[in-house]
Chain A
Amino acid sequence: MKSLIKFFALSLLLLLLEQTLMNNIWNNLPTLNIIPILILFMAFYKDSLLALLFCCLLGLLRDFIIASLTGPGVAAAAITYFCLNSFSTHLFIKSRLVLFLTAFFSCLLFLYTESLYYYLFLGLTPNHWMILSSSLFSAFFTLLLIPLLRKYFVTDKKL
Chain B
Amino acid sequence: MSKRLLLLVIIFVSLLSSTYSRKNPELANFGNRVWLSATTPIHQFMHYFKNSGDSFLQQYVFLLDLKEKNQKLEDRLKNLQTDNTQLKEIEMENARLNTLLKFKRRKKLTSKIANVIAFNTRTSRSLMLIDYGKKQGAKPGQVVIYGNQLLGQIINSSRVSSQVMLINDPLSNVDCLIQESRTRGVASGNLIKGLQWNFVGQQQEFKIGDKVISSGLDGVFPKGLNIGIISHKKKNKNSLFQKVQIAPGVDFFKIETVMIIAGIKQ
A interface residues (Cβ-Cβ under 8 A, vs B): 16, 19-21, 23-24, 27-28, 31, 33, 49, 52-53, 56, 60-61, 63-72, 74-75, 78-79, 82, 85, 111, 114-115, 117-118, 120-122, 124, 127, 129-131, 134
Contacts and interface: CB of A to CB of B under 8 A. Distances in A.
Contact of A121 (B1, B22, B27, B29): B22
Contact of B120 (A23, A61, A79): A23
Contact of B31 (A21, A70, A85): A70
Nearest to A82: B7
B42 A63 contact: no
A60 B155 CA distance: 19
Interface stretch (B58-66, B74-82, B106-114, B121-129): B121-129
B28 A69 contact: yes
Among A33, A49, A61, A75, chain B packs the most CB atoms within 10 A around the CB of A75
SS of A interface (majority)? helix
Nearest to A51: B3
Interface of B is mostly: helix
B217 interface: no
Interface in B27-49: 27-29, 31-32, 34-35, 38-39, 42-43, 46-47
What are the 4 A-B residue pairs with the smallest beta carbon separation, nearest first? A64-B31, A71-B18, A71-B14, A75-B14
Contacts of B22: 69, 121-122
B95 interface: no
